[in-house]
Structures are given as C-alpha cells and as structure tokens.
C-alpha cells in the first residue's frame, strides 16, 4: 500500500477523488484500504512553494501524488500569465522533482488538457500527436507536462476535456442554471469534443493507482506515460447544452451559433476529440458514453442537493 497526496482537493476532480476514496476534507489524513491519504488544497499546501512541497512530501513519506490542482481560467490566463505559469508549470515541476529526489519508486499522476492541441485536426488526437497549444492556458499545461517528463519521476499524465461535475463552476452547471432563468440561449456548434464527468475520471485514476501499487518495479515503469481520457462519443457544445436543458425539463430554447458570433479572449480548439485506446488497453478501463452520466438521476439529485 502507499502514502498518497491529493492536491487541489477542493476542485471538481479533487472532490470526486475524496468522494470515492475517503470522503475526507482538505487537511485530513485518512487511512483507507491500508493507503494513507493526504487531501490538500492551497491553504494546506501551496504547491508553487518548492520548500513547502519538499517538507510535506518528506514528512508524509509520500509515494504517490495525484495532482488535481490547476489554473483553468482559460480567458483570464491570457492576462494572468504569471499565476498560470506558477500553478501549471512551476508547481508541476516542484511536485515531480521533489518526488524523484526523495523516493526510490515515486509516481505522479498529473491532469492535463485537450488544449495542448491546436484543434485544427479532423480525427481523434492520439497521445503521440504533435502538440501546438494556441493560448496561455494550453501552453502552460504543455510546459507542465514537459517538466514532469524530464523530472526523473515515474509519471502518468492524463489529458482530459470538457470536465464537469456537481462541484465548482463548469459548463453543465452554468447551462442548467441559465435554463431556469432565460427563454433562450446561444451556444457554439462549431467546437467539437467530448464532455468528461469528473466522477468517471476519478474512478479511472483509482484503477491506475491500484494497478500501479500492485505491479512490480519494472511493470510500474511500463505503465508510465501520457494517456487520454474523456467519456465516449463526440458532440458540440450546442449538443451538450441541448442535452443538459432536456434533463432539467426546462422549455428554454438553445440556438446554435458560430464561434465568430461568440468571441472569447483565448482561442478555443475547434476539434479536440481524444483517442482513448491506450488507457483502455493498458488499464482495462471501460468508459461510458458522455450521455450516460448526464442522464443519471443520481447525478441530478446530487447536483440539486448542493444548491
């Protein structure tokens, strides 16, 4: 078993990790299935502070880091380059290099994004496709990936897309709220990708951790690398919004518009579907279609309970 540090545990994915692993609040140290779990957010551990990371990892004898922390404000990042770099690049380096220095067989599981691609493709992106991020957010996330790769630490980098959950701020929650307030909504139909339910990604991470812990040293190294994960299927933001509104029972009308009609400060990939063949084959993960969690009565019940 292992001592596991989960960063960013107040975010969408971090909260989902807490719900499936321990139901623990940030700052708590919990034992579950013989694993010792350390859930932290910035108030418990500032991962942009190298010294703080080294002290925490050393004191807790951390063997696995699940880095759920990220600067994800895509448009704001265009002006807030310093903070985006600190969280997405420097913090990733701090965690990976510290783990590589203080442990004999460390692992960092790091969450990255479809924004590392420029979105000009026409078929699902594979892990070895060329990265060409168009904005600050994508560039800093790509730089974070590279810092981890050269750190010497065992790593599993998971690129995901269109993340949502019952926690935090996300597209699904925004559309669900607006559907109850407005008669109509305009949503872009020419940006194509796949929604990802954070709960499904959390379960995939759980599978990866279990397989890594149960593997021998050489087998562990073979599990390392970059992987893609989203739910199955393909849709536009317009399609996603239509399904969300249908689930709310609202009569709100969703109108399709082009990206030119809905300009944003940071460029968005027009096509960012991810090929998930590698993660499914390596870890035996079964991934539900994106409509399944969106249509789940349990999901909507949980969302309602958080209002």
Residue 276 vs residues 14, 216, 267: alpha-carbon distances, Å: 22, 25, 24
- 293-299 contacts at long range (C-beta below 8 A, 24 or more positions apart): 293/197, 293/199, 293/200, 293/231, 294/172, 294/195, 294/197, 294/240, 294/243, 294/244, 294/247, 295/243, 295/247, 299/166, 299/197
For residue 218, the surrounding DSSP H or E stretch is: helix 217-223
Task: For residue 207, give both structure tokens.
Answer: 């599978």
- Alpha-carbon span 147 to 112, nearest angstrom: 12
The torsion angle over the Cα atoms of residues 139, 100, 110 and 112, rounded to 10 degrees, is 20
The active-site residue out of 115, 137, 164, 271 is: 137
197 is a catalytic site residue: no
Q: Supply the residues annotated as catalytic.
A: 137
């Amino acid at each position: 078993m292992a001592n596991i540090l989960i960063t960013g545990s107040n975010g969408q994915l971090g909260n989902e990790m807490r719900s499936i692993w321990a139901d623990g609040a940030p700052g708590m140290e919990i034992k579950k299935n013989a694993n010792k779990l350390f859930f932290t957010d910035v108030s418990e551990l500032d991962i942009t502070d190298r010294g703080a990371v080294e002290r925490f990892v050393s004191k807790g004898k951390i063997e696995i880091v699940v880095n759920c922390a990220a600067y994800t404000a895509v448009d704001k990042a265009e002006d807030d380059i310093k903070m985006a770099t600190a969280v997405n690049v420097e913090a990733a380096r701090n965690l990976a290099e510290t783990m590589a220095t203080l442990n004999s067989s460390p692992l960092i599981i790091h969450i990255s994004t479809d924004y590392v691609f420029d979105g000009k493709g026409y078929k699902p992106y594979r892990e070895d496709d060329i990265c060409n991020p168009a904005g600050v957010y994508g560039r800093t996330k790509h730089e974070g990936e590279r810092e981890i790769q050269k750190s010497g630490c065992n790593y599993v980098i998971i690129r995901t897309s269109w993340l949502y959950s019952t926690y935090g701020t996300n597209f699904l929650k925004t559309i669900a709220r607006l559907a109850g307030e407005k008669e109509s909504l305009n949503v872009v139909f020419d940006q194509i990708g796949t929604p990802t339910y954070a709960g499904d990604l959390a379960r995939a991470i759980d599978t990866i951790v279990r397989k890594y812990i149960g593997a021998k040293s050489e087998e562990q190294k073979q599990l390392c690398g970059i992987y893609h994960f989203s739910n199955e299927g393909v849709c536009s933001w317009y399609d996603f919004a239509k399904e969300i509104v249908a689930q709310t029972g609202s009569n709100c009308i969703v109108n399709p518009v082009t990206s030119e009609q809905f300009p944003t400060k940071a460029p968005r990939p027009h096509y960012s579907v991810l090929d998930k063949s590698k993660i499914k084959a390596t870890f035996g993960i079964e991934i539900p279609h994106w409509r399944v969690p969106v249509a789940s009565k349990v999901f909507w019940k949980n969302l309602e309970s958080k209002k």
